[in-house]
Structure 1
Amino acid sequence: MAKIRTTPLHSNFAVQVHAQVMDLVDDPDAIEELKSLWQKSPVMIFRRQSLEESELVRFTEHFGRCETTGRKDIQSPYQEQIIYFSTLKYADGRFVGGFAGGDDVDWHSDQTYQVRPATGAMLFGTEVPRDGGDIYWADQYGAWDRLPRDVQQLIEGRTGVYRYAKRYAMLNALELKDKEKANAMLSLPDAKHKVVLTHPRTGRKALYADPTTLVEIEGLSKAENERVLPILFETGGHPSLVYRHKVHNGDLLMWDNGCTMHRRDEMRLDQPRLMKRTTFRLSAADYCVPQP
């Protein structure tokens, strides 16, 4: 097929892909071209898509194995690989999916508190509110480049300690209302990952310093951690590195958590919202996969 056309949305970090997913999904050459694009542009936006849940899963699994969540309360009743984010409710009053509150945690990367994070993610906008809920991504390749040289030298090769309890203290209270689920998450052991990741294909370095979970960098003194961590967190979300996306119905958003962070604006709870997400495990041979 002809070369896939893209438009930069923020340098080459975020791009719009001008194609219909279902025109690409059965074309091996097109999938390989998308993989190559994604390695250079870790945020890809496909507009005006029409996807059944099975098609979303099928597309996702070209890039990595889909994960299934243990939280049945937010899982799709049709595809176990999909979770819902929604303001809608079932007839019995339960929210359809999770994370229905208007607030959101600040800049973060998904699953950093897990020993083996699944860093690939897709989010499909089935019903999108008119007001609020804009999504932002921050380029962590650019964050590494912006760090002062002395900070780069201090942290490169070092391992960070990532703890769910820190994230929990910052979460919207609606995310984990169930005390049993919350206690299970709070009992997770600390995860340890390198705070600087290197892309195996491009050689680019990315900062991996999630402000919602990173509590310390091993080998640094208490004073050094207190000095350096705020620098990492501020640099990771620097305005020059940020792409802001106004989501519309039919948008398919695809990103790599190993070299990006993201956040969402507050949104109106009196407006309908239904977003469908897949999370998938990327290959360490092809992507910035966190390593202990």
Structure 2
Amino acid sequence: MIARSLGKDGFVGEIVGFDCTEESSAQMTRVKELLFEHRVLVLRDQQLSPQSYQQFMEGLGLTICHVLQNLTVDGYPSILKISDYVAPDGKPLGVLDGGTYWHSDMSYLPPLGFATSLYAVRASERSGGTSFVDLSGAWDLLRESPELLEMFGCASPTDALNLNVIHRFGNRQTRRDHGAAQQELSQEQKSRVPGAVHRLLERHPVTGQIGVFAPSGSAMKIDGLSEEQSARALDLLEDAILANCDVYTHHYEPGDLVIWDNVTTLHRGTGVHPTENLEECRLLHRINVNYAAVTS
């Protein structure tokens, strides 16, 4: 197994010469170490069936089923299909445009410690990619900005450690842009994701480091502030992060497996354009695992 850095400051690690179907316990331990060292991992040239893919990801943590069970792989409820293909009758092959805004996966659920993987079953030059933001410097941005601290109602950086954020499934940006992307849910699906409360500054369940957690996407309200005040503060923090923190965009090739830590990153889909051409479409298989459920 060879690991080398992509992008700035080792934010993204590329692993070559590694076959996910033949991993040993020692190699799996190393993959986990690299995930928390780099925050985003790119594993090239994989050939994974749904079964072997799920088995590999189970080595990282407890698989978590997405609420959109109607768009999962048959027989594999933990594998969600992401695709830009739309059939002539208008039926999508998978999730089309639910994540083209900055967010952290499953931050609307109570547990902390989710990793996401996307495996490129099919991809082409026109296929959309995934952009990632490194949150490791976001806490420094917040505590060194009197303007940001004031927006959150904090007299000092210490006060920020006690901020609670209410998360709900969806995209906060729809508050100021009604045309912003969001994934629609049925009433039954909504009942299965009632929301959660997390600290704005969470301690990583594996590394123990304190950092800004999931300030975008499902982060809707700061406990103690109004909806409007909360949106302004969170939007200002998000803007500061996007202006100052490292960003990496991955363009998929068939066989790519990308894994990232949602505690220390934000991400969004990029360049997603619906197509009825099967030769040009992309198909990504997504799995979420809770690594904290295994390491704790």
Equivalent residues of 2:40, 2:261 under 8 A apart: yes
- Taking a change above 3 Å as real, the CA distance of residues 130 and 12 of structure 1, as seen in their structure-2 partners, is same
Q: Does 1:198 align with 2:232?
A: no
User: 2:237 aligns to what SS in structure 1?
Assistant: helix
Q: What's the CA shift string for 1:196-246, capped at 9, x where partnerless? A: 122244332221133222222224578974663233211332354211111
Alignment correspondent of 1:290: none
Matches within 5 A, 1:267-286: 267-270=272-275, 271-283=280-292, 286=295
Cα deviation, 1:70-111, whole Å, max 9, x if unaligned, reads 53320101422211011335697632222x24x843210011
Counterpart Cα distance in 1 of 2:87 and 2:231: 46
Normalised TM-score (structure 1): 0.82
How high is the sequence identity, in percent, across the aligned residues? 22
- Once residues 265 and 239 of structure 1 are traced to their aligned partners in structure 2, the CA distance between those partners, rounded to angstroms, is 20
1:228 aligns with 2:233: yes
> Do the aligned partners of 1:165 and 1:186 also contact (CA within 8 Å) in 2?
no
Cα 1:213–1:196 change in 2 (3 A) is same
- For 2:154, the equivalent position in structure 1 comes to none
232-241 or 43-52, which deviates more: 232-241
For structure 1, the 5+ residue unaligned runs are 288-292
Is the counterpart of residue 47 in structure 1 residue 44 in structure 2? Answer: yes
Alignment match, 1:59: 56
User: How big is each residue's C-alpha offset from its partner over 1:38-87, in whole Å with a ceiling of 9 and x where there is no partner?
Assistant: 12111000011111111100100011111223533201014222110113
User: Partner residue of 1:12?
Assistant: 10
Q: Hey, what's the Cα distance between the residues in 2 that align with 1:118 and 1:203?
A: 12
Query: Equivalent residue for 1:125?
Result: 120
Q: Is the 8 A contact 1:111 1:117 kept in 2?
A: no
Distance 2:202 2:168 in 1: 19
Unaligned runs of 5+ in 2: 150-156
Structure 1 distance, partners of 2:101, 2:5, is 25
Number of residue equivalences: 277
Distance in 2 between residues matched to 1:236 and 1:71, nearest whole Å: 30
- 1:140 maps to 135
What letter is aligned with 1:145?
Answer: D
CA contact (8 A) 1:129 1:268 kept: no
